[in-house]
């Protein structure tokens, strides 16, 4: 039986080389602390009038590094201290003509601090009946290990107390994602 040239020269065997690469990757992951996540709204979510409501991003995205996002509590928990970038896209479905404005907020560590990421006002240009409205926002935050973040939305409508809906489904139009820088 012929010995492969790389073995006769004393190079690493293929299994050892893979083990070395895996050890290097494990070392880099441990010391670089990579974290990234993505979650989607899988079905429509009702939002009550003048109420800050946590968006229920319940469908995980691709398997990304470090995790930290819990689809059952709709909460990201920072596994490491550092700077994190967050992005969300919110799509409202079949809005009433009296819909006036909405806000996208990040709830940091529960209700102790709310960061308003985006606010849209439709009073100057009223929406047509059954309009859809989509907007996105991003923010860079310093977080300590164990800090939590949730996306919340709120809309105002002075003429009615209608319940509006966020779009969720296979089109992946309502999304929350983030990563550690």
pLDDT in tens, 153-175: 988 877 767 788 899 987 778 99
Q: Is the pLDDT of residue 14 over 60?
A: no
Per-residue pLDDT, averaged over 43-57, amounts to: 90
- Beta-carbon contacts of 107 under 8 Å, excluding residues fewer than 6 positions away, are 52, 54, 113, 114, 149, 150, 151, 152
Q: Is the pLDDT of residue 113 over 70?
A: no
pLDDT for the residue numbered 171 = 76
pTM for this predicted structure: 0.76
Q: Is the pLDDT of residue 76 over 80?
A: yes
Average pLDDT, the chain: 81
Positive or negative: CA dihedral 89, 95, 101, 107: negative
CATH number attached to the domain at 35-180 = 2.60.120.40
pLDDT above 70: percentage of residues in the chain: 78
pLDDT for the residue numbered 144 = 95
Per-residue pLDDT, averaged over 75-100, amounts to: 88
Q: ∠ CA(58), CA(63), CA(68), 5° rounding? A: 65
Q: ∠ CA(148), CA(88), CA(34), 5° rounding? A: 55
Per-residue pLDDT, averaged over 80-89, amounts to: 93
Per-residue pLDDT, averaged over 111-115, amounts to: 66
Per-residue pLDDT, averaged over 47-68, amounts to: 84
């Amino acid at each position: 039986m012929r010995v492969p040239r790389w073995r006769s020269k004393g190079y690493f065997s293929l299994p050892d080389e893979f083990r070395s690469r895996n050890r290097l990757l494990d070392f880099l992951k441990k010391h670089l602390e990579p974290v990234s996540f993505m979650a989607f709204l899988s079905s429509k979510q009702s939002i009550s009038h003048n109420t800050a409501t946590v968006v229920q991003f319940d469908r995980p995205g691709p398997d990304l590094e470090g995790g930290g996002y819990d689809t059952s509590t709709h909460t990201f928990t920072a596994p490491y201290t550092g700077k994190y970038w967050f992005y969300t896209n919110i799509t409202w479905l079949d809005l009433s003509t009296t819909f006036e404005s909405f806000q996208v907020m990040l709830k940091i560590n529960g209700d102790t601090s709310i960061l308003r990421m985006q606010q849209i006002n439709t009073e100057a240009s009223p929406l047509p009946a059954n309009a859809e409205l989509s907007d996105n926002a991003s923010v860079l935050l310093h977080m300590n290990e164990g800090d939590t973040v949730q996306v919340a939305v709120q809309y105002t409508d002075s003429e009615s107390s209608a319940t509006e809906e966020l779009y969720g489904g296979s089109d992946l139009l309502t999304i929350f994602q983030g990563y550690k820088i």
